[in-house]
Chains A and B, each alone.
Chain A
């Protein structure tokens, strides 16, 4: 009897689900013609290729960090390691910060002998893997990684960090020729990513900090600012990059003695980034009455 009841219940359930699906189907799956199906398939293929390109460039990005450390695998220290003062390195030459978004002190993935319980297994591991203890922390010449970055942006031209970090590597020698090469590379990046705030910022930084050309720097920051105010959809990285656009524009205008412009920038910047301490501090310093923040 029970089994008959169970079977009836299951059948009733299937019937209800079937009716429900019939009702929902048109909502979730609008009728499409042949053209629609073709478009859908084309989009699918494009998206698959896009995913592949993103995956390749992403993995190259990871590998580039590894090659810079000559194969020594690194990881950020854990909270516990930080508390127990485990020895790590902190952006020895700025490159670790660049590659890891300033994640803080790094340590080798293969543990040093004093932190390894494995005995001889640990010794063999350190002898066979590309391991160097933190006192020997060093980098390969950063420019050696440039071909990899070229490969990254070739596979995925929209990989913004691929352009910006490559520019950092290009300007590593810190001379005019190197900076100009970096700027040229970034301009190529803009032609692939015409709506990128981050690449414009990077060009502007190079002009401002390295080439001492504040006017050209200001021009690129203004381009970035225009993009931020254009209402264009952009990802979080690009949007957060805009914070530096406003800060730098504020400083450049200060250096150029354009105080009225500074005030406008602070108000506008705070409308985008209401909690930014730098802009808030600037607002206080210039005695600007806070307006309603959006």
Chain B
């Protein structure tokens, strides 16, 4: 456990010093401030729009950070040979993978929470009131980002950094669309391959489920039931573990 956190701390420190995180935070803040300016200069009644924009900005930037931060971790370790002194220590390769993944998740979470604060301040301009669904939105988003990091991490151990990032972006941004397409395809052919559809749906990452942005942005949506949050939490653990297992299967046998 100590080893994992030591490795994670290294990843976080590197990311902080790289300043990518700050660039993204500033970008997000600027975008929200410009939206805030609209509210300030008399466009009353744009709360839903402002919240929707906030959710979009948060979703977009946190996804970019998650994918970019995670996709380069292992390929960079191998390319820069920083892996050797680490693996020469009394640790298992699985420990290294867990530590690195945890680091990526922490960086992503930190940047997301930073963006949340920035957008929260900008939303104040629109006199947007806090609602419990917003806290749930943040919680579920954190879980979804952890799943995204795990997926990207697994992909980065089996393909190139660029390919892993591209595939992750496709899944992250297209998850809901893929699900809708599956549902419609299943409707068109319910008898043919019903079981196949279920398997495919189970295997594909369900990022759409973690996005409560639609509810948080619009009016009078009550909090999501606790069983849903629990299920999402369980899903995040299971899916991330599966992705970690895939990474380990590949990396454990890999000659470095």
Is there a contact between chains A and B in the complex with CB atoms less than 8 Å apart? yes
| Chain B neighbourhood of A150, CB < 8 A | 43
Among B140, B183, B198, B206, chain A packs the most CB atoms within 10 A around the CB of B183
Tell me whether A291 is interfacial, beta carbon within 8 Å.
no
A-B contact count (CB 8 A): 93
**A63-B219 CB under 8 A given contacts A80-B188, A118-B201, A147-B45:** no
Tell me whether A116 is interfacial, beta carbon within 8 Å.
yes
Within 8 A of A (CB), among B183-217: 183-184, 186-188, 190, 194, 197-198, 201-202, 206, 208-212, 214-215, 217
Q: How far is the CA of A30 from the CA of B211 in the complex (A)?
A: 53
The answer to whether B183 and A127 have CB atoms under 8 Å apart is no
| Chain B neighbourhood of A73, CB < 8 A | 214
**A118-B183 CB under 8 A given contacts A127-B225, A128-B211, A128-B224:** yes
| Chain A neighbourhood of B224, CB < 8 A | 127-128
- Contact bitstring B38-71, A, C-beta under 8 A = 1, else 0: 1000011110110010000000000000000000
**A117-B194 CB under 8 A given contacts A129-B211, A129-B214:** yes
Residues of A within 8 A of B (CB): 60, 63, 66-67, 70-71, 73, 78, 80-81, 109-111, 115-121, 124-125, 127-130, 140, 144, 146-148, 150-151
Q: How far is the CA of A117 from the CA of B231 in the complex (A)?
A: 18
The answer to whether B218 and A67 have CB atoms under 8 Å apart is yes
Minimal Cβ-Cβ distance residue in B for A75: B180
Residues of B within 8 A of A (CB): 38, 43-46, 48-49, 52, 140, 179-180, 183-184, 186-188, 190, 194, 197-198, 201-202, 206, 208-212, 214-215, 217-221, 224-225, 228, 231-232
**A151-B188 CB under 8 A given contacts A73-B214, A119-B198:** no
Minimal Cβ-Cβ distance residue in B for A64: B49
The answer to whether A121 and B201 have CB atoms under 8 Å apart is yes
| Chain A neighbourhood of B48, CB < 8 A | 67, 144
| Chain A neighbourhood of B212, CB < 8 A | 128-129
The answer to whether B49 and A130 have CB atoms under 8 Å apart is no
| Chain B neighbourhood of A117, CB < 8 A | 183, 186, 190, 194, 197-198, 201
The answer to whether B232 and A124 have CB atoms under 8 Å apart is yes
- Shortest beta-carbon distance from B183 to chain A in Å: 5
Interchain CB contact (< 8 A) of B44 among A110, A119, A121, A147: A147
| Chain B neighbourhood of A67, CB < 8 A | 48-49, 52, 218
| Chain B neighbourhood of A125, CB < 8 A | 179, 206, 208-209
- Shortest beta-carbon distance from B110 to chain A in Å: 24
- Shortest beta-carbon distance from B142 to chain A in Å: 14
| Chain B neighbourhood of A146, CB < 8 A | 45
A-B pairs, top 7 by smallest CB distance, nearest first, are A71-B218, A130-B214, A147-B45, A71-B214, A127-B228, A70-B218, A67-B48
The answer to whether B206 and A121 have CB atoms under 8 Å apart is yes
| Chain A neighbourhood of B220, CB < 8 A | 70
**A71-B217 CB under 8 A given contacts A109-B180, A127-B228:** yes
- Shortest beta-carbon distance from B94 to chain A in Å: 29
- Shortest beta-carbon distance from A201 to chain B in Å: 28
